[in-house]
Amino acid sequence: MKASIKIMSTGSGHTDSSVMITNGNQKYCFNMGNGIHRQSLGSSHSKPADSDILFLTHLDPSTETDFLNYVLRNKGDLSIIGPNGLTSNLMSYRYFLSKRYKTFCITECSDDESFHLSDGHLSVYPVVIKSSIDNSSSSTSSTSSSSSCSSSSPNVTMKTVESLPFTFNKSFGAIERPSNNNSMKVAIGSSKSFYDWTILRGGIIHSSTGSEFTMSEIEQYASYKLLKEDIKAGTTKISSKQELFQFKPKNSKLIKKFLSDNSDSNYCLDENDNNNNNNKLISSEKEFWCMESRHFRLITRLTKSLRLTNKEKRDMVRKRMNIYLKDPIYGPINSHNVTFPKSQRSSDVICYICHLPDIIGKFSIEKANELGIVGIGRSKLCKGESVFSEKVGRVVTPQEVLSPSTIGPAMIIIACPSIDYLESIINNQQILSYSGNGNPIRSGCIVHMVPEEIFSSKEYCEFVMKFSNEKWQHIILNKSCAYHELIQLSGQLVNGLNKVSPTFYPKLYPPCNSLPLPETISSMPNIQRGRFHQTIIMNPLSPLGHPLFDNSACIENQDIDYTFEMKSPSPPSSPLKSLDLNSTTTTTSTSPTSPSSPSPSSTSSKSIINNKRKSLISSSRNEFIKSQNKLIKSLSDRELEIVFLGTGCSQTSLFRSETCILLNLFDKGSILFDTGGGAYSQLFRKYGDQKTKEILSTLKFIFISHLHADHHQDLQKLLQVRHLAMDEFYIPFEKRSLVILSPPGANLYIRDLEKSFTLYNGNNNNNNGFKGIWKYVQFFNFSNYQQDSIFSQFLKKELGIVKCIAVSVIHSFGAHGIMIESENGWKVSYSGDTSYCSEFVELADNSTIVIHEATFHDCQQDKANQKRHCTFKDAIKAFNQSNSHSTILTHFSQRYPNVKASLPMKDEDDDDFNQNVSYAFDFLTVNIKDLNLLPNALNNLKINEAENEEVEDFDE
């Protein structure tokens, strides 16, 4: 059967290495790194979300930054395979896996249990790679395991290990969905809604407790107890005691006694409490751990390294219930931190050996007739089974009636993220058994996800040369592959805007060619650097017996030049809006004979009153504008530059990335307002590798407005790149401080992820043993930042920010807007996501720049109200009432470009309207010195509103 490897990301530029294996309609994705989804949009080829099976080589932002996008875009349940700690890692995302109603089937691979995964289309053999800095006992275990697996040809040995399905055979039923959203409102409604919400938010099902009670019974008792306390406090209305007691479990008193018996006096050790018994090889399909939340379910197949003794299970349940009962709102979900069996987190990396099915030989009817094989006997022989023939009086084997089978190709995914894994990989006997020295039966393709400094080393080159030229094709994926623009329409848009306004839309970072191969292996004909969207075809029936390349989808030479159509000059008689930079006021020039000019005799008394009122407002505003222009004139061009890295809402598109705004304070450092998916990609596209590192190494403050994924998804990737950049620049640990102001969940999310990352669990002198790799990052939430002087003192000392205030806005739970004020006088306010909000308007009063969301057209007011977003009119109203100098609108619905080039003039009876209103496309770059030029920057641009790209709304 013909199969293929599709290169989804080469690892060059801002991307991380990723491939997809396709066999028929089945697709298997390896790693879900940065930007993988956006660069596949608009393509008729495979997209990452087409795959229901995901393999992770290690746990790191480079392998999982786009995981939330993967969850959002994929329509079905998912199977995820990776190293030890995978379940804990995925649990970190529990706050954001909302409304997907998915089941995640998790398999953790460790070196203490042998199995392979198969669905009939692909067989995958995980190879556990140990770091050289692991402790000696782990190294000994790894060596013995590798030796046992490689004592003979892998094509023989691998057939003896247990075969398990990717998706678990055991049925867990459908996820229980609440009847309506009111079940989330704990303090309102009946006790039933409280009970539903608590159980579903913290539910652990199909998991042994080490006692006579089920997890469901214990959770029911905990929910009943919380509900009882809530009733005493008078925060929940019930009609009768009978309504309360219907939730009381039958064994309530016994469960209470069990939870309080920390001494375990009622339990004696049994065979399952003997740790030595855990060394027995028990079928991985027999025992599962399952957590069911309100919107998703995680099921982990409990392999040997993950199983607990009964005593450990009882201790875990008690500890978990203590957290569960502390808080009726956050207790159940916070208790997840202790809901999974102990996992000895290691720094393991997993390589994967993938076998395509063998092609059965041709069936010989003549021989079957000679041997007297008819009917179902022939079918069994084709399936590899032997049958008894009465005609010849003996057992007939498949080899007697079938020509030799064609061995299916193999694909090997090798990941070596650090030099610490080099020795383990090049000496791994399971991988080496496929080399020329191992007399391999199979041939195919080896994908090397290996940094250039490791791949070009003498040791690794010698390792590569061991694989036969006739049998194996090598593909290299790392930063030395060619870098070019991956998102054609986005590149064309920026290039077109650059021609119209180069001041505000500078050119993006230029492409660069791939580097030459290391000299040692440059003469090998079977090795090359991967190309974006290149396909390697694996056809065992090919006459050459070698993988073939399909480069038809490669886009290195795509044309990203674009020229916008410009407007015709306006007729002399029509009103022309202009900004008079000398007088600091907005003027409207009209022809003396203009028919639109009102006649003095037609002016009503109401208009006179309105004009007087406007005159007073205008006078006050003119004074403010004048003072701000004076301030702007006095500032250096290295005072403040605002870069709109992402201006879209909900999810990324071909034209707009997710929300992220960079405030570059140059010598003082930089600030980020939100870090939506693709933030790092956008930084790289604008600045290139070196400049991006410099900016991130001086990043001092991040504001996360709320916890929708399109406002925080790239946070982990930015923290990783920042950390590596500071390592590269030898920045002392004490000078790496970064403060993050966010809702409370961001802290929990990042800290949980940090603990699970593969590369951060070893011992490294440069990083204080990788214990709390980001411990210099300090989180403040919206309820405590003003009480902590550390926050304000840090901003003033490092960035010259003398005032920073966040206010609650009208959107999701915990959503906030922010205002920052510099010691040099400028003031920037950012709304985040919100409906029109008077509290934010008050906060933004007298701002130099108001950055405001404007998600919907004015004709979509109902939808804006429903989604708690603003229309253009709402955003401009907020700006006008804030009496600010300028506003820049952003966070547009994902259509290109659905914002008119110039905003309409208001009616005569409307409140004062000024023209210091601009809208942002991705990569809009505004230096504060050029602020007065911005409103007219794209005035002559003609927009075709028919060109749009509709996308599914995943905003919530």
Q: Which secondary-structure segment (H or E) carries 321?
A: helix 310-324
Asked whether the predicted pLDDT for residue 469 surpasses 80, the reply is no
Asked whether the predicted pLDDT for residue 912 surpasses 60, the reply is no
pLDDT of 423: 94
Q: How far is the C-alpha of 449 from the C-alpha of 509, rounded, in Å?
A: 25
pLDDT of 347: 84
In the predicted model, what is the mean pLDDT of residues 804-827? 94
pLDDT of 265: 77
In the predicted model, what is the mean pLDDT of residues 66-80? 90
Q: How far is the C-alpha of 322 from the C-alpha of 471, rounded, in Å?
A: 59
Q: Which secondary-structure segment (H or E) carries 87?
A: helix 86-91
Report residue 616's pLDDT band, with 50, 70 and 90 as the boundaries.
low
How do residues 504-524 score in pLDDT, each as one tens digit?
999 999 999 999 998 888 888
pLDDT of 888: 96
Q: How far is the C-alpha of 369 from the C-alpha of 382, rounded, in Å?
A: 15
Asked whether the predicted pLDDT for residue 9 surpasses 80, the reply is yes
Asked whether the predicted pLDDT for residue 669 surpasses 80, the reply is yes
Asked whether the predicted pLDDT for residue 734 surpasses 80, the reply is yes
In the predicted model, what is the mean pLDDT of residues 332-340? 78
pLDDT of 156: 33
Answer with the residue of higher pLDDT: 608 or 591.
Answer: 608
DSSP letter string, 766-810: GGGGGTTTTTTEEEEETTTTTT-HHHHHHHHHHH-EEEEEEEE-S
Report residue 938's pLDDT band, with 50, 70 and 90 as the boundaries.
confident
Asked whether the predicted pLDDT for residue 427 surpasses 70, the reply is yes
Q: At what angle do helices 191-202 and 215-232 cross, to 10 degrees?
A: 140
Burial profile 316-341: b = 16 or more Cβ within 10 angstroms, e = fewer: bbbebbebbbeebeebbbbbbbbbbb
pLDDT of 100: 67
Domain ranges of the chain: 3-132+346-355+408-480+515-550, 214-255+291-340, 365-400, 629-760+772-936
Q: How far is the C-alpha of 781 from the C-alpha of 271, rounded, in Å?
A: 48
Answer with the residue of higher pLDDT: 50 or 236.
Answer: 50
pLDDT of 602: 46
Report residue 898's pLDDT band, with 50, 70 and 90 as the boundaries.
very low
Q: How far is the C-alpha of 574 from the C-alpha of 579, rounded, in Å?
A: 16
Radius of gyration of the chain (CA): 32
Asked whether the predicted pLDDT for residue 295 surpasses 50, the reply is yes
CA 896 to chain centre: 24
DSSP letter string, 574-598: S-EEEEETTTTEEEEE--TT-TTSP
Asked whether the predicted pLDDT for residue 444 surpasses 80, the reply is yes
In the predicted model, what is the mean pLDDT of residues 709-719? 92
Report residue 622's pLDDT band, with 50, 70 and 90 as the boundaries.
confident
Residue tagged 């198969």 (tokens): 118
CATH of domain 629-760+772-936: 3.60.15.10
Asked whether the predicted pLDDT for residue 386 surpasses 70, the reply is yes
Pick from 21-35, 582-596, 666-680, 806-820: least confident:
582-596
Torsion of CA 272, 274, 276, 277, to 10 degrees: -20
Report residue 810's pLDDT band, with 50, 70 and 90 as the boundaries.
very high
CATH of domain 3-132+346-355+408-480+515-550: 3.60.15.10
How do residues 243-273 score in pLDDT, each as one tens digit?
677 778 888 999 999 998 888 877 776 555 5
Report residue 106's pLDDT band, with 50, 70 and 90 as the boundaries.
very high
In the predicted model, what is the mean pLDDT of residues 403-429? 91
Phi, psi angle pair for 395, to nearest 5°: -80, 135
pLDDT of 273: 57
Q: Amino acid letter at 93? A: Y
Question: Does 629-760+772-936 match 3-132+346-355+408-480+515-550 at the fold level?
Answer: yes
DSSP letter string, 227-242: HHHHHHTT-S--S-HH
Report residue 840's pLDDT band, with 50, 70 and 90 as the boundaries.
very high
Percent of the chain with pLDDT over 90: 42
pLDDT of 914: 52
The chain-wide mean pLDDT, for the chain, equals 81
How do residues 739-786 score in pLDDT, each as one tens digit?
999 987 788 888 888 888 877 544 343 443 344 678 899 999 998 898
Asked whether the predicted pLDDT for residue 832 surpasses 90, the reply is yes
10 Å CB burial of residue 674 (0-12, 13-18, 19+) is buried
Nearest-CA neighbor of 301 among 20, 94, 103? Answer: 103
Asked whether the predicted pLDDT for residue 489 surpasses 80, the reply is yes
Report residue 107's pLDDT band, with 50, 70 and 90 as the boundaries.
very high
pLDDT of 895: 54
